Amino acid sequence: MLGYLCNLLNDMGPVSRFIPASPAYPRHPDQVNWKAIDARHGRVLLRSVRGRPRISVWDPVTGERWELPPLSDAWYEDDEDYWNAAVLCAATGCGHLDCRGKPFLVVCAGSCGTEMISLCIYSSETGSWSEPIFAAPRPEYGVTDQAPPALVGNTLYFMVRMGTGILRYDLVTREATMDENLAVKSLNYSSVPMALEDGGMALGVENYSKLFLWSMETSPKGDISWKKIRMIELNELLPVTVRDRPVDVNCFAFVPPFGILVYTPPRLFSIDLMSDKVEVVCEGRYMSGIVPYRSFYIPGITLHGF
């Protein structure tokens, strides 16, 4: 992992800040009025947070950046603005070790101004968005951009706000399904989908200073169930000054295989679960999301700014 992007609120307003995981990787200027919503295969997906939403794809290693054409007007008719998007490589046979540039896909999921959850796919090869794919009736809270989507195999997983469901999109069959009423008792708005090292899918869930990891299991009939595979007690890991008060976790991210990032105002902590080492990596009065960034990088080669 080269670093992570934190969505902060500071004196300039909302910003996206790149935090390098090592001093070998240079920092980048804060991106005012931009929000990181996903990162995968060496690319970062950004959306604007002022005015009409804009979407761009950025390669931190080369400095290249591509602004996407706007979605149809229907995507901006919903006052709640509940939508999220994922970026991924579109090259056939790519191993993604040193993956960057074109071709890429962006999959956007939201309400599209209708009572249905729909998806649109952007291809850098055609330079345009697809027609909407309608998945299911829109849930009460809509799709959230507070957690990056997870890619597990050929399937993308998008969280619904308040942790009330998961939208699944199969990139091969182009079929989308909505799983609601998830059988995870502690599931709440602080829920993050993630890919496991063994190729499975899991949910990270924060609940009263504890982080739970639930793995998804699918029966031969296609029924989904959840199995709790780990519980992390933050009160036992965070510094005493934090434990003196109830731990208020605004957002978090898992960094496979053994790390987590936890923001409890006003500090972002990096926790190594193997050594229990904890360090402060960023400070800010409000943070709304964390997006880990992975790519291949040789020290000495400059990482370019936005």
Tell me the torsion sign for CA atoms 276, 279, 281, 284: positive
Question: For position 99, what pLDDT does the model report?
Answer: 79
Question: What is the DSSP track for the chain?
Answer: --EEEEEEEETTEEEEEEEESSTTSPP---EETEEEEEEETTEEEEEE-SSS--EEEE-TTT--EEEPPPPPGGGG--TT--EEEEEEE--TT---TT--SSSEEEEEEE-TTSSEEEEEEEETTTTEEPPPEEEEEPPSS-B-SSS--EEETTEEEEEBGGG-EEEEEETTT--EEEEES-S-TT--SSEEEEE-TTS-EEEEEEETTEEEEEEEEE-TT--EEEEEEEEEEGGGTS-HHHHTS-----EEEEETTTEEEEEETTEEEEEETTT--EEEEEE-SEEEEEEEE-----TTSPPP--
In total, how many domains does the chain have? 1
Higher-pLDDT residue of 231, 114: 231
137 confidence band (pLDDT: 50, 70, 90): confident
pLDDT of the residue at 298 = 42
Query: Does residue 207 lie in a domain region?
Result: yes
Instruction: In whole angstroms, give the CA distance from residue 284 to residue 250.
Output: 12
**302: pLDDT confidence band, cut at 50, 70 and 90?**
very low
Residue positions counted in the chain: 306
- The answer to whether 164 and 139 have CB atoms below 8 angstroms apart is yes
pLDDT at position 113 = 64
CB 147 within 8 A of CB 131: no
Token duo for residue 6: 């934190």
Higher pLDDT, 256 or 211: 211
141 pLDDT more than 90: no
Q: Which residue has the higher pLDDT, 34 or 198?
A: 34
Residue percentage of the chain with pLDDT more than 90: 32
Residue 160, pLDDT > 50, answer yes
Is position 148 within any domain? yes
- For residue 106, what pLDDT band results from cuts at 50, 70 and 90? very high
Cα(232)–Cα(239) distance, rounded to whole angstroms?
15
Q: Which domain holds residue 119?
A: 3-293
124 touches 104 (CB < 8 A): yes
Contact 138, 83 (CB under 8 A): no
What confidence score (pLDDT) does residue 239 get? 85
Does any domain span residue 301? no
Tell which wins on pLDDT, 225 or 162. Answer: 225
Select the more confidently predicted residue: 277 or 136.
Answer: 277
Rounded-to-integer distance, Cα 282 and Cα 293, Å: 16
- Determine the average pLDDT of the residues in 282-294: 88
Amino acid present at 296: F
Question: Does some domain include residue 272?
Answer: yes
Specify the higher pLDDT residue, 66 or 118.
66
> Looking at the domain assignment, is residue 123 inside a domain?
yes
pLDDT of 304 over the 50 cut: no
User: In this model, does residue 297 exceed pLDDT 50?
Assistant: no
pLDDT value of position 208: 78
Torsion on CA atoms 273, 278, 280, 284, rounded to nearest 10:
60
294 or 66, greater pLDDT: 66
pLDDT band for 43, please (50, 70, 90 cuts).
Answer: very high
Indicate the burial class of 286 (C-beta count within 10 angstroms; 0-12, 13-18, 19 or more): middle
The yes-or-no verdict on residue 104 having pLDDT over 90 is yes
Q: Looking at residue 79, what is its pLDDT?
A: 52
Give the mean model confidence (pLDDT) for residues 237-244.
74
Does a structural domain hold residue 83? yes
Q: Label residue 107 by pLDDT band (50, 70, 90).
A: very high
Work out the average pLDDT over 77-106.
Answer: 80
Mean pLDDT of the 5-20 span: 88
Is the bond preceding residue 266 a cis peptide, omega within 30 degrees?
Answer: yes
CATH number at residue 15: 2.120.10
Residue 48 lies in a domain: yes
Render pLDDT for 181-228 as a digit per residue (tens, 0 to 9). Answer: 665 655 555 789 999 888 899 999 888 788 989 999 888 887 888 889
- Mean pLDDT throughout 288-296? 82
- At residue 300, does pLDDT exceed 60? no
Residue 303 lies in a domain: no
Q: Is the pLDDT of residue 111 over 80?
A: no
- Of residues 163 and 102, more confidence is placed in 102
